[in-house]
Structures are given as C-alpha cells and as structure tokens.
Structure 1
C-alpha cells in the first residue's frame, strides 16, 4: 500500500520471433511457377487468410477436406538448417540479436539472401538497420489477407467477392501489384473516400487501407 505501481509495460510484452533458414537454391531465367497455386485459389484458404488479417465476413465452405499431407505445390530447396530466435526485448535489441545469430551461422556468405516479413514498419526498420543487403519479400499470406478484405468490402455477394479475391491473388502472385493498386483505386473512386471518422469495418476504409498497404 502507498507504493508506486510498476509500469504496466513490465507485466506483458509482445514476443518477437525470427526464423533463420538455410536452404539450397536454384536460379531460373523465368518464373518457374507463374500460375497461382491451386491451394491459394481454393476456398479452404479463406479461413486462414481471415484469421491472419482479421477479415470480417462469412468464409466459404470447402467442398471437401483439404489433404494436409499433399505434396508441395512447387519445387522446394533442401533445408540445411533451421534456427529460431525469440525475445521480449524491444525491436532495436531484437534486431541485433537476430543479426548476430545470422552472422554466426554464416548467412553473410550466402549467394542468395532473402528477408521475409509481413511488411510492418518496425520490421522494415529492422531490416534496413541489420539486413539491408537482403532481398525483401512480403509474406504472401499477409498480402493475400488484404486482398480478401478488399474483395469482401467491394462485393457483398460471397461468390463475387471470392472471384475478386482470386483475381487480386493472381496479380500478386505474378508480381503485378500495380494491377491490384489500379483496381483498388478505381473501386475507391466508385465507393468514395472514407470520412475521417470512418470505422475500421467501413468498406471505404478497408479499400483505402488495402490500397495504402500495397502502395507501400
């Protein structure tokens, strides 16, 4: 009693986790998998995307249970090592931890270096500080969760929304993000700009957020 309360931040801190993968890799003159994989077209992926992006709306019901043991839809390199780095420290301290582990495991000698993330500003700053020579790759599942959200905001009909998602997903998979941005810009003009006090569930705000996400 009478004592100052501890800082609320001392009770709970967000966990930060990085996965360091070392794999064999092959180089191709052309995209070896230019078509959107079937599992990203199938309605069974909707539930997972909705969970990742906290997307509202009814998820389509798959016609059959997805086979969890099916082969990978594309050829994968052989995994040589896998290490996990986890911490509750701040992003700056966590970045140095991940960088030191990557250096210790010889990542600097790799001929192909890739940094995969969900595109958040904190992680982008971490990459700029410690992994600036790595190729930045946006996690496909986070990218597609914004497509699903935008498609449902544009179309109230479930089937039409899913067709719209598939088109967005195909463009993203092929690296044609400009097509997605152009389409979202057109739909934003049709819906109108969201007011300053628009809720997060307002279709106009959802489309705006998705457009900003892909533009960044």
Structure 2
C-alpha cells in the first residue's frame, strides 16, 4: 500500500509503534503486521517511525508529560525507587547497517523503576529466618560469579555437591504482609550517562509524588554510580543494598577463606544468616581474622588470588554496611531485594538484546528504549502520548496542534 513514515495515518502509526514495542525486532513487527492486518510495511519504515516517536517521548518526559499525565499521581504508602544497568550491542555513529567488527561493541543502558506499594509494619522482625533458596547450594551458586566460570559450567562444583534445587510447591503462595505489594509501576530507560539519568529519575519520582511519601526507599546493587544517584537526588530515601547481590559476595568470601568444600559452605550459611539479621559488622570482624591468617595480598596479585578477593569483599561489605540493616527494613515493611528492577530489566532486554542485534548508537538504541519503557509503564503513557500527537483523530484544530508541537 506504499506506507512510509511520512504518509501513514496516525492510527496506523499507533499500530506500528505498539507492535514494534512488543516484538523482538523491526523485521518481526513487519511480519506480524502483514500476517494480522494484511498490510505490507517494511522494517525500515517501522524503524523510521520509531525514531520519530522515540525522540518525542524523550521530549515529553523532559517536560514532565505535561498535557498527557497531568494531575493524576497518587501519594504512595511506600515509594520504591530502584535502578540497574543493562547491556546491549551497538554500532558506532555513522557506521551504517550491518555488522562491522571495528564499529560494534557492548554499551550500557540505564534503567529505573518507580513502584507505589503497600505493606504492614511490625515491632519485631516478621521473618527472622532467611528464605530456603539462600540455603540451597545450587541456587546460591547461580547467584555468584564462581558459578559462571567455565570450570563450573555444566557440572556441580566441589563446593556445591549434587544437591538439586527444591521443587516448587503447587498452588499460590501467600505473600507475607511485611513484604511490599506492588500497586503501580512506571519505568524509564536511556543510553544517557548516570549523571543525566539521575536527573531523569529525580524528575519521574517527583512527578509521581514519591518525595512526599512517608516511607521512601532506594534499592540497588553495589555499583558506585547507583549510590552517587542516591546521594545527589534521593538522599532522604532509605538506602538498601540488594540482599541477593550481597549473598554473592558472602559466597565468594567463604571460598576465598576456606577453598572449595563443606567448611566453606557451612561458614557461608552462618554469615548469610547473620547478614539477613542485619549483623554485618560481625561478619566483617570474622573475615578480618581470616584476612590476617591468609596475609596481605601482594601488589601484583591476580584476580584469582584468594587474598586479593577477600580484600575486595571486605571492602565491599564495609562500604555498604549502612545499607544492610535488613531486619529493620523488614520491620518497616520495606523491600530487601531489587527483584522488581531485575524483572523489569529482563522485560526491556526482551526488545533490545538478542542474537545478531546491533543498535545504531546512540539514536537507534535511545529511541527503542524510550518506547519500550513507556509501553511497560502501568499508566498507559505510550497510548496516551500517541493519542495526543499532532494528526491524531483527537487533535482536530490547528491551534491545538501548534500548542502540542510547542
């Protein structure tokens, strides 16, 4: 039918954007449109339209979604902010389509989630014992770097033995009341650096009235850029280190102290339970004793040297000590993991990361990240934005179009 990014109707562009946002590639979106609607639209045409809309979405966010999401933010009981990086493959600017080894590489995406939640508080720790998954050897190995090495790939490590993961219990499990229940979430994603992304996060949080909530929390892993964003924009939020991330360091530390074997696993379990209870200072003191026993790592020690590993792990625990009061967080009805963020990153990666998938950097990647994040947000912002674009059936008068364009 000869559709392109200049002549297709607003309604059809809307179909293109939604189809593209929920499929793995421009090519798959083109195929789906042909099979479902009987309309042939090239992948290049879909890409051009997405570039236009992606740029406009970024501009709408910079203007706090004025005229699109006005006056509807509800003050949350618990405001949860979390951020994490992702990895996608990109081409350098002006490299053109195709794979050029000298022009391609991995780049980081910045992702953040904003969750309005509800939970109960408690005067005593409502869950003093950790979940059984953190006491399962194979599950813990899957959370640590040691389980990802080639030596352990496809076989049980000496530390782990042959224990199988526990079978899932049938039926729906009741969520403890102290665990926050997700009510409403929005997402943002970008290729911009962490300084700029921090400003974007602050803008979205304020628009959602998160700065006015009585219980505010910022959950992230140990990357310093995450905590720089917290210090600059979310200083009033309770800072929480993702417990799952802490577990990987506890597990690595047990191997550094005791090598591979039962003794390492038993000490990991004890240290993990102490950390779950917020007694991280005790864990640090014990590890300092083992560091003294092993001796200082020489300046030229490699990454595999247990002494160098232990020094890094102790430094990690010390740096995050004030973010690991997990028993207190449970009493306050706050999350102790970044599971919501991890899940959101996987949803974003579904569209942005795949075999032989390379994005034009930065424009192509930025546009699709804007569309994907808007599509995944609970406030239906993508549909509402498209309904207000110039040319939409809802926008009839010329002066209305001019106002929106401005």
Interval of TM-score (by shorter of Structure 1 and Structure 2) = 0.7 to 0.9
- Are 2:303 and 1:200 aligned? yes
2:117 to 6, 23, 26: 23
- Are 2:197 and 1:94 aligned? yes
- Are 2:203 and 1:105 aligned? no
1:34 to 113, 118, 128: 128
Return 84-93 or 70-79, whichever deviates more.
Answer: 70-79
CA separation of 1:103/1:119 partners in 2, compared to 1, >3 Å: closer, same or farther?
same
- Are 2:173 and 1:71 aligned? yes
Q: Is the 8 A contact 1:49 1:148 kept in 2?
A: no
In structure 2, how many angstroms separate the alpha carbons of the residues matched to 1:118 and 1:24?
23
CA separation of 1:82/1:44 partners in 2, compared to 1, >3 Å: closer, same or farther?
farther
- In structure 2, the partner of 1:167 is 270
Instruction: Give the unaligned 5+ runs of structure 1.
Output: none
In structure 2, how many angstroms separate the alpha carbons of the residues matched to 1:201 and 1:72?
43
CA offset at residue 95 of structure 1?
0.4
The number of residues matched between the two structures is 212
CA separation of 1:106/1:117 partners in 2, compared to 1, >3 Å: closer, same or farther?
same
In structure 1, how many angstroms separate the alpha carbons of the residues matched to 2:247 and 2:174?
19
Deviations 1:141-197, CA, capped at 9 Å, x for gaps: 111111000101112242221111111111110110101100110000010010011
- 1:114-153 alignment runs, 5 A limit: 114-153=217-256
- In structure 2, the partner of 1:189 is 292
TM-score, length-scaled by structure 2: 0.48
Q: Is the 8 A contact 1:116 1:137 kept in 2?
A: yes
Q: CA RMSD in A?
A: 2.7
- In structure 1, the partner of 2:398 is none
In structure 2, how many angstroms separate the alpha carbons of the residues matched to 1:114 and 1:133?
9
CA separation of 1:191/1:52 partners in 2, compared to 1, >3 Å: closer, same or farther?
closer
- In structure 1, the partner of 2:392 is none
Q: Which has the higher contact order (CA 8 A, sep 6+)?
A: 2
> The residue matched to 1:31 in structure 2 has which SS?
coil
In structure 2, how many angstroms separate the alpha carbons of the residues matched to 1:153 and 1:52?
11
Return 54-63 or 42-51, whichever deviates more.
Answer: 54-63
CA offset at residue 51 of structure 1?
4.4
CA separation of 1:178/1:107 partners in 2, compared to 1, >3 Å: closer, same or farther?
same
For the pair shown, the structure with the greater C-alpha radius of gyration is 2
CA offset at residue 68 of structure 1?
7.6
In structure 1, how many angstroms separate the alpha carbons of the residues matched to 2:109 and 2:169?
28
In structure 1, how many angstroms separate the alpha carbons of the residues matched to 2:236 and 2:272?
28
TM-score, length-scaled by structure 1: 0.87
Q: Is the 8 A contact 2:139 2:165 kept in 1?
A: no
- Are 2:107 and 1:13 aligned? yes
Q: Is the 8 A contact 2:220 2:241 kept in 1?
A: yes
In structure 2, how many angstroms separate the alpha carbons of the residues matched to 1:197 and 1:66?
45
> The residue matched to 2:206 in structure 1 has which SS?
helix
In structure 1, how many angstroms separate the alpha carbons of the residues matched to 2:198 and 2:146?
24
In structure 2, how many angstroms separate the alpha carbons of the residues matched to 1:186 and 1:135?
31
